[in-house]
A and B are shown apart, each in its own frame.
Chain A
């Protein structure tokens, strides 16, 4: 039995009279790349936000490496070892790529006061440089993140999520708006990172091709409940899933 990183237990959440998520449970194990898919309005985002502690579920709970995330602020979640990327562009535009990455790691180094009196880069330049070259952004190291292309900023966003060496990374529509060349590059890098570091990923994504080729296991939601779960091949062949997507 491998180690459980993320455990979702009987989550329910409704808004007004609408049940966005109904009694959903599943576990994600160390080193897995789990895809969370489903048609629009299937409850993916609600579930995602419950995991991030941004929504409080009506029932059930979420634990990450055994710790309850309920009521945790984003920065506390980060300290628990949860990294994330954002659907929209989410870099620090007026800071260099290097500074973006150092900022992504510095809060996990030492105490507040050791950071104030310690070195300016919190001792992270080397690690940030390694991350930058891992994502092949070396030539952009000292450029302002805001001046990068859309795809490049997505890479920076992803790189930032890894700087604190998290146990779990939540990828919120990583493929959205990224061109094909860049998409291949992003996918390949994510896979490599996953293999090298055994970091667990949970991916929400609309781009089926991307999900199928990146993930090791997929959970399909429809109308707030899990309708299927399995390897990409199983999901591809699953009639219930096809029906749900076609809306019949």
Chain B
């Protein structure tokens, strides 16, 4: 089973490396955009999927990351410096936004984070001196690595892929470390977790802050990709889109956001034939999906596997003993 998984991962990675050579410029761009959004969705998956704290603010964090990168790189600073600043900023703002979660949950938290996204959007739109207002910032440069310019789409794709793999590996490490267990403990039973010594207050704040930092990283990758950012890229609708990626893929599953982001990014491409009806079909699909499989695609898959396993007739002595307890 484990070998199978590793084999699968290697195959997917190989696919991702070959992919841009089979695609035209546009295909590569869509793939890059999938990588970028997966990073944002991964962050939200930590906050929501692992730690159980709903957030509608991920687009705002992408915005903070994207504007930091755009402003700093356009001023001639290196990309990596802008990433550090953008992620750091998001981490701090995420910590602050986490505070409401210490008091309120569920729908209240959804509204607070929704209000935050709207406020962030207003600042991006109205503070023209900094953000360029509704016209946004044009001409965000792409970084160069070791003197090699990444202006070419395929090269930037590989750069994004590299950062994406780093981000995924760190995420994997995080959620499989004791911290990941503490996040899940917070989601499953905060009172019990607290009584076992888990500082639930700190863990809640960290879940927001780290999730936000991933949002910032995603924004820092996005700005050079599209080379033009405006407030409309970071509205509530985009937050919802990221939330959708997490929920559709399977929130709380490591690969959930990968799959979810893929679907959400690719679906418009497949629905092109529908033209004006695209958004309608899209929305109807979401409603349908939520009704038939509320735990997302990976949730459905894992329940399916569990169901098949439990049908195995093997009768075990220790199970019998256990049944008596």
Interface residues of A (CB under 8 A from B): 73-75, 77-79, 83-84, 86, 90-95, 99, 102-104, 106-109, 112, 115-118, 120-122, 136-140, 149, 151-152, 155, 160, 163-164, 181-182, 185
B179, B191, B323: the one contacting A115 at CB < 8 Å is: B179
Complex formed: what's the CA distance from A108 to B177 in Å? 15
B321/A139 in contact, CB under 8 A = yes
Complex formed: what's the CA distance from A79 to B198 in Å? 9
Query: What distance in Å separates the Cβ of B26 from its nearest Cβ neighbour in chain A?
Result: 40
Please name all residues of chain A whose beta carbon is closer than 8 Å to the beta carbon of B192 when the two chains form the complex. 86, 90-92, 160
B127 interfacial by beta-carbon distance below 8 Å: no
Question: Contacts A103-B198, A118-B178 known; A181 to B188 CB distance under 8 Å?
Answer: no
A74, A136, A160: the one contacting B191 at CB < 8 Å is: A74
Complex formed: what's the CA distance from A140 to B316 in Å? 12
Complex formed: what's the CA distance from A140 to B325 in Å? 11
B196 interfacial by beta-carbon distance below 8 Å: yes
A115/B177 in contact, CB under 8 A = yes
B196/A78 in contact, CB under 8 A = yes
14 contacts between A and B (CB under 8 A): A73-B201, A90-B189, A90-B191, A94-B187, A95-B181, A103-B178, A109-B178, A118-B178, A120-B177, A137-B322, A181-B324, A181-B325, A182-B325, A185-B325
Query: What distance in Å separates the Cβ of A78 from its nearest Cβ neighbour in chain B?
Result: 4
B189/A92 in contact, CB under 8 A = yes
A74/B194 in contact, CB under 8 A = yes
Question: Contacts A106-B182, A136-B325 known; A91 to B194 CB distance under 8 Å?
Answer: no
A79, A95, A99: the one contacting B197 at CB < 8 Å is: A79
Complex formed: what's the CA distance from A83 to B197 in Å? 9
**Contact residue range for chain B?**
20 to 34
Please name all residues of chain A whose beta carbon is closer than 8 Å to the beta carbon of B189 when the two chains form the complex. 90-93
Q: Which of B174, B185, B197 has the most CB of A within 10 A?
A: B197
Interface residues of B (CB under 8 A from A): 174, 176-179, 181-182, 184-185, 187-189, 191-201, 252, 316, 318-319, 321-325
- Please name the residue on chain A nearest to B202 by beta carbon: A112
B177/A116 in contact, CB under 8 A = yes
B199/A139 in contact, CB under 8 A = no
B191/A107 in contact, CB under 8 A = no
Complex formed: what's the CA distance from A182 to B189 in Å? 24
Complex formed: what's the CA distance from A120 to B176 in Å? 6
A116/B185 in contact, CB under 8 A = no
Complex formed: what's the CA distance from A115 to B181 in Å? 11
Top 10 A-B residue pairs of the complex, sorted by shortest distance between their CB atoms: A107-B197, A139-B318, A78-B197, A92-B188, A74-B194, A115-B178, A106-B178, A90-B192, A74-B195, A122-B178
Complex formed: what's the CA distance from A79 to B192 in Å? 14
- Please name the residue on chain B nearest to A144 by beta carbon: B306
Please name all residues of chain B whose beta carbon is closer than 8 Å to the beta carbon of A104 when the two chains form the complex. 196
Complex formed: what's the CA distance from A86 to B188 in Å? 15
Please name all residues of chain B whose beta carbon is closer than 8 Å to the beta carbon of A90 when the two chains form the complex. 189, 191-192
A92/B200 in contact, CB under 8 A = no
Complex formed: what's the CA distance from A182 to B176 in Å? 34
Q: Which of B182, B318, B325 has the most CB of A within 10 A?
A: B325
Please name all residues of chain B whose beta carbon is closer than 8 Å to the beta carbon of A73 when the two chains form the complex. 194, 199, 201
B196/A164 in contact, CB under 8 A = yes
A115, A140, A160: the one contacting B196 at CB < 8 Å is: A160
B184/A94 in contact, CB under 8 A = yes
B198/A107 in contact, CB under 8 A = yes
Please name all residues of chain B whose beta carbon is closer than 8 Å to the beta carbon of A109 when the two chains form the complex. 178
Query: What distance in Å separates the Cβ of A63 from its nearest Cβ neighbour in chain B?
Result: 19
Please name all residues of chain B whose beta carbon is closer than 8 Å to the beta carbon of A137 when the two chains form the complex. 322, 325
Please name all residues of chain B whose beta carbon is closer than 8 Å to the beta carbon of A117 when the two chains form the complex. 177
15 further A-B pairs in the complex, CB-CB below 8 A; given A75-B194, A90-B189, A136-B325: A73-B194, A73-B199, A78-B196, A83-B195, A93-B189, A94-B184, A95-B181, A99-B181, A103-B182, A106-B182, A107-B182, A116-B177, A151-B325, A181-B325, A185-B325
